[in-house]
Amino acid sequence: MIREKIRRVKAIALKEFIQIKRDPRSFTLALVIPVFLLLIFGYGLSLDIDRVPTVIWNQDASSQLTRDFLLNFKNSKYFKIVAYTDSYRDIEEKINSGKVMLALIIPKDFSQYISSGKTAPLQLIVDGSDANTATIAMNYVRSVVSKYNLNLLESALMRKGARPLNSIDARTRVWFNMGLTSTWFIVPGVIAMIIMIIAALLTSICVAREWERGTMEQLISTPVKSWELILGKFIPYFAIGFLDLIVGIIMARFLFGVPFRGSYLLLFFLSSLFLIGALSQGIYISVVARTQLMASQLATLTTFIPTMLLSGFIYPIFNMPKVIQLFTYLIPARYYIVVLRELFLKGGGIRVLWDEAFFLILFALVMFNLAVRKFKKKVA
């Protein structure tokens, strides 16, 4: 009895392998898309904000003190001085055209104010159309100005023979990503997004193709049971998804230099759970949709958008509204991304990832059960 069930599952899997072989474009696409996404997100997406394009209008250009002040911006990696100007109209044109984001305007009596011990005015014009980047850029300017003010105060005290003021020396120690490289944060999330999208998309299209071509009715007329059919279709696409995972790991390690500090065995086990859930979700979508076009649209809507926006891939969950935070608990990629970042960067084990492992097991069981039940309901 068991041998007969295994034989039927193997037959379905073999049929699916032959179908993939006859349609090499799907297989090629399944390998090209992950590489393309990793390259695009790994190289193109950066959360680091530096080299902010800046224009300067120095109305006190003859003063050495003013030029020394501007060196703090010129020598900083956070600013890129792209132009010097002598009019507000030119500043307005450059900001409106997007050539610069910041404009520093130093008044003509800037050095006189500082020399006389008075507070010197400094005008900062910021393009606020990108509110997040503008806020960070303004904080950069404040940091430079604060450091310069502290140096002025210490110099004044030293000239008067006074001891420097006591201050707090905050010594920062960064764990797990000492260089604060955003690529190390992004690439593991991209791997999760690839597995989710490719797995759900491929299976949703492959089963929908059976409905469109009328071959599903032929399979239904055979002794093959619902769970055997689903399991048989799982095997080829599980292999493709696992291959995508390996490609992603290799690219992360050797192309982007992301360290891996955890257990590969644990990674493959938890990835298998996530992959089973994603494949089951794709089959469930295909049974509901029954057409390849509708299946691909539903798969994209239910995998790409939630994984991109609500899984913590780019945007931190703790910064979202409370209602949205509660909704993110239903996004399986949320747990898998934690697994990937923990194993890649922190080297944690199953004791740290127990909650995520539980939710991934639950995701796999629920989606597989839904796929089987929905398939039975449709063919009844």
Concatenated DSSP letters for 141-191? HHHHHHHHHHHHHHHHHHHTTPPPPP---------S-TT--HHHHHHHHHH
Cβ neighbours for 93, distance < 8 A, ≥ 6 positions apart: none
- Domain boundaries along the sequence of the chain: 2-45+181-379, 52-159
Which helix (DSSP H) or strand (DSSP E) does residue 52 occupy? strand 52-58
Q: Does domain 52-159 have CATH number 3.40.250.10?
A: no
List the chain pLDDT tens, one digit each, 380 residues.
Answer: 677 777 777 877 887 777 777 777 777 777 888 888 899 888 877 777 888 999 999 998 888 888 889 999 998 888 999 999 988 899 999 999 889 999 999 998 888 888 887 888 899 999 988 888 888 889 999 988 888 888 877 777 677 766 665 666 677 788 888 888 888 999 999 999 889 888 887 787 777 777 777 676 666 667 777 777 778 878 888 988 899 999 999 999 999 999 999 999 999 999 999 999 999 898 888 888 878 788 888 888 888 888 888 999 888 898 889 999 999 999 999 999 999 999 999 998 899 999 999 999 999 999 988 888 877 645 54
What global pTM score does this model have?
Answer: 0.81
Q: How many angstroms separate the CA atoms of 356 and 362, rounded?
A: 10
